[in-house]
Each structure stands twice: as structure tokens, then as C-alpha cells.
């Protein structure tokens, strides 16, 4: 019998990813302790590392990183 799908909160995922970054415990030990698959922990850790830059980016940097609206509107009009 299958276990129902679980939805973890963003806070839980962040805490697990931070614990994985600390490296105090192995991924396998964390997975056992928190009842989450080790691959899932590795995925959350990677997402945290990739998106950590956005936390410290200024508003101008965030706007510059996004697509140019004029270019997108021009493509729509074509």
C-alpha cells in the first residue's frame, strides 16, 4: 500500500537544506532522522545554493536579471 503524498513547507525544506550544508550529519543520517529521501535533501540543498544570491541582490540587480519587457512585447507583436 502506498503512502499518501506529503507536502513539506518551505520552512521545513530550508531547515533541512541548511542542516545538509552544515555537514554535521551525513545525508543518509539526516534522511533517516527526518524521514525524507536523501536525493530530496540533495535537491533542496542545490536549490538553496543556486538561489542564495537572490537574497543579497539589490532591487536594481533583481530587475536587471529579469527579461526585458520591451523585447518580450515586440516578440508578441510579431
41-71 residue pLDDT tens: 999 999 999 988 888 877 777 666 666 777 7
23 DSSP 8-state letter? T
Name 47's Cβ contacts closer than 8 Å, sequence gap at least 6. Answer: 17
27 assigned to some structural domain: yes
3 assigned to some structural domain: no
Name 43's Cβ contacts closer than 8 Å, sequence gap at least 6. Answer: none
Number of domains in the chain: 1
52 assigned to some structural domain: yes
5-44 residue pLDDT tens: 889 999 999 999 999 999 999 999 999 999 999 999 999 9
Query: Taking the model in full, what pTM does it have?
Result: 0.70
4 assigned to some structural domain: no
Tell me the residue range of the domain where 41 lies: 10-77
1 assigned to some structural domain: no
Amino acid at each position: 500500500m502506498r503512502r499518501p503524498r506529503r507536502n513539506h513547507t518551505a520552512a521545513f525544506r530550508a531547515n533541512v537544506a541548511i542542516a545538509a550544508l552544515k555537514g554535521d550529519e551525513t545525508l543518509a543520517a539526516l534522511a533517516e532522522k527526518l524521514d525524507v529521501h536523501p536525493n530530496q535533501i540533495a535537491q533542496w540543498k542545490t536549490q538553496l545554493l543556486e538561489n542564495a544570491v537572490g537574497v543579497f541582490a539589490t532591487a536594481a540587480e533583481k530587475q536587471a536579471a529579469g527579461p526585458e519587457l520591451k523585447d518580450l512585447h515586440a516578440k508578441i507583436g510579431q
